[in-house]
Structures are given as C-alpha cells and as structure tokens.
Amino acid sequence: MTTEAPIVILGAGPAGLATARQLAFAGHKVVLIERSDKVGGMAASHTVAGQRVDLGSHRLHPATDPDILADLRDLLGDELQVRTRNGRIRLAGRWVAFPLRTADLLRSVGPRFAVGAAFDAATSPLRRARANTFGAHLRSGLGSTVSRAFYEPYAKKLWGTDADELDAALARRRVSARSPLAILRKLVRGARPQGRIFLYPAGGYGRICERLADSAIEAGVDLFLSTEVRGVHIPTGKPVAAKTNATVELEGLTIDAHQVLSTIPISSLVGLISPRAPEEIQRAIGRLEHRAMVLVYLVCDQDRYTQFDAHYLPSLDTPISRLSEPKNYRDGADPAGSTVLCCEVPCWVGDETWTASDDQLGVQMAESLVRQGLPKPRLVATETRRLPHVYPILRPGYTDDLTTTNAWLSGLDRLVVLGRQGLYTPDNIHHVLRMGIAAADAVNADGSFDRFAWKTALGEFEEFVVED
C-alpha cells in the first residue's frame, strides 16, 4: 500500500516534535514516525511503582530561549514548576553541595584541594598551549586539581575511555567553565538562589514532549507510534525532478515524501538509506561510537531516601555516574510510603552491566550506594531501562568521519538531518527545540528546503554549550 505525505519526520523526540509542530503551524502536511510506543526519546517519562520517572536526571534550564520558554509555559500551565536545585557531588571522598558554592566547596574538600585549585588559578595565564585532547584542554584551562578530581574520572566513566583519548571539542561542548576564573564566577552564581533555579513539570520531564505532541496532533500532524522504518529511498541524479519523491518504507505501507527530516541516530539512518552508502561512508559511520547506559530504578519502601534531588558520582570506585530521586524534583501527587531511585550506569552494549539481570543490578547498585556513604536503600523491587545511544564518543579525528558522513548526507536531495542523535552532538532540550524550529522555518511554502538558511542555523548550533 502506498500513500503520499509532503513531509515525513523520523523520530518523535524533542527535535522531531518541535519540527513537526512548527511545520503544521505553517500549513504543511506532516507525518511523524516513532519506533517507541511513546514520544520523547531520551526526554520521555514512564511509570515505576506508581511514580513518574525520567530516563535519568533532566531539568529545563533557565537559559532556555525566552520565546521557547513562554511557549512551554503556555503548554504546561501550572504543571511547570520553578524549583531550587539541591544536589551533591562526591569530591575527594567528601560530599559537596552542587551547584557548587564557594564557601561550602572550600570547607568540604579540605585545604589540599583548595591550595591546589588556588595555585592553578594563579598560574592559569601560563597554560595556554594548544590542546587537541579533552584531558589536555581541561588541564590547560582549569589546571590539574579540578581536572583530575572531577572531569577526568567522570570522562572515563561516561565515555568509557581516558580523557586524553577524547577530542578537545568535547571539552568545548560539555564544560561551560573553561578557566579557574570562569569556575569562580560559576561558584558565585551558584551561591545565589537564582543561580540554583530550574524548571520541571509536576508529571515528569516527559510532559514537555507529551504536550508538544498533543499540540502537534491538534495542528494536524499524523503521529505513528510503535512504527519501525524499514528503509528510506532517496532519488538520485542531478538535478532531482521536482515531482520525484523520496520513499519511506514501513511495514505494509510506503510513504512518498517530498522531504524527509531525520532525527534518529545517524548510524541507524545511514543503514536505512538506499541506494546504499559508499564504502567510505560505511567505514566513517562505523567509527562513530556511542556509549550506552542502563538505568536502574530502585523501588524503596520508604517515603524519602534523602532530601537531595541528585547525587553526582565522578569517582571510578562506583559504576553509578549519577543518582536521582524523582520525588525531590517536584511537588506532585506521588504515593506516600515509597520512593524510586534512578541509578545512571554508563556501559557498553553487550557488556556485563548491559546483560545483567534486574535483580543483580539492584543488589549491586544498593551496595555501591552504601560504599559511597549513602544510606542503605530499603529495596523492594528493581526495574531497568537499557539505552544503546546515549553519549557520542568524540575520539580524536572524529570530526573527519563526521564531516565526511555529513557531506554525503547533505548532498542527498529530499533528506535533512537534525537533532542530538542525527547530528551526533550532546545538547540540552532547549537547544534541540530551537533546532527543530529552525529546520521547520527552512522549509519553504512549496515544500522545498532552504539549504542556505539551514547551513546558517547549523553554524549557530555549533556554539551551543551543554548546561549542567
């Protein structure tokens, strides 16, 4: 069976939803296809033991563009709550308030750390050597004290490789404080109440995407959930005739589309495209890796585990990178007498963490939390979620492979790639929402795509820095 849709979007995460909704507002007919049974991608929420939980720790940052924030306020209404962050980070074997606060940091980490950080700040002007690795870039800017206590072990945990085996571009995208002076400014801001503010929906972070989906459907978007894309055929030849469409193959259905906009992982997309990508592209995409993650949800027979929303655990002596307690992110109708903890555990697809049973992981995580000086959870059940594409691994030279792949993709008529997964880049939700709107605005009234406008927008997105 064959049908026609002027615009088909692959993936109903934040980028896909924002794009589809904006296009529908402009009068375009849009079909949005999602493999999962719910919208949101990694920004989705689900229910564990009667509580709404997220896929890790998520917040809506106050740095969100005012126009986007105003739109989200309209969509969510009173459900969007203003909250004060109350987290902790484990540094030098001690707990420190996070976001960092100057007095607490100096009091908690001890004189040795403080003296080392002070020395690094004083000698910062002398460290301006060009660095091509994540580790060297951080040590050049921040000094060795903060780098080795926090960023370097955290890098090893998140990306599964040493900081000096990661590209310096990762530091520019992931570390907003790039000098001791910048850290000091961040500490000062963090000490002020307004520096610790975030926004969060009472019904879980996934409410953002759920409301966007509701609005998109109301505007005319056709949303296909639980739908697997089997192939994407792109017309070849230059120029492509105006009436020659791309085709998107689903089970039992072929969609003719004037434009296909993809937000799915770039490696998955390349594998779907026909004619098959050249061998050079196949090799390049094969070298672009992702770190996976298992989310281990500990259901506990207690009203609260701690008063903190999140615990950051950079040390390699625990597999957990971050622990969050959803109840502490909101004022909501969560059930009394129980709480859920979310342990984020970076891993590789197929390794011993990925393949361990839920019960095994529950016991391991509970024991690990106790070793970090946290209370013993009153564990009654464990659930997990396994995510194969979480952290893009930016090894030295990855830009060559990504540039090669993107050059090939951008040369394909009727296809546009965007979003966190599509562009192989770490980004916050407010970044990808803005990206989706820009992609939609690049679609002309006749359905053609303004490549120049999109290229200009992409240049702007390259300057985004992930907010903590």
Output the DSSP codes for 85-116.
--EEEEETTEEEEES--HHHHHHHH-HHHHHH
**What tokens were used for 340?**
């859920």
Q: What is the pLDDT of residue 426?
A: 73
Q: What is the pLDDT of residue 427?
A: 73
Is the CB of residue 423 less than 8 Å from the CB of residue 263? no
* Candidate from 334-348, 372-386, 399-413 with smallest mean pLDDT: 399-413
Terminus-to-terminus CA distance in the chain, angstroms? 47
Q: What is the pLDDT of residue 185?
A: 45
Query: What is the residue whose two structure tokens read 């689900």?
Result: 46
Q: What is the helix (H) or strand (E) element at residue 352, kind and residue range?
A: helix 352-355
pLDDT at 69 over 60: yes
Q: What is the pLDDT of residue 221?
A: 98
Choice between 142 and 49, residue whose per-residue pLDDT is larger = 49
Choice between 147 and 336, residue whose per-residue pLDDT is larger = 336
What's the alpha-carbon Rg for the chain, to the nearest Å?
A: 23
Arithmetic mean of pLDDT over the chain:
86
Q: What is the pLDDT of residue 313?
A: 93
pLDDT at 230 over 50: yes
Is the CB of residue 145 less than 8 Å from the CB of residue 116? yes
**What tokens were used for 382?**
């464990």
Mean pLDDT of 29-37: 97
* Alpha-carbon span 447 to 396, nearest angstrom: 38
Percent of the chain at pLDDT > 90 equals 61
Task: Give pLDDT tens digits for 173-190.
Answer: 555 444 444 444 444 444
Q: Which domains does the chain have, with CATH numbers?
A: 2-58+205-287+396-461 (3.50.50.60), 87-196 (1.10.3110), 290-393 (3.90.660.10)
Handedness of CA 232, 236, 240, 242 (dihedral sign): negative
Is the CB of residue 230 less than 8 Å from the CB of residue 249? yes
Q: What is the pLDDT of residue 365?
A: 98
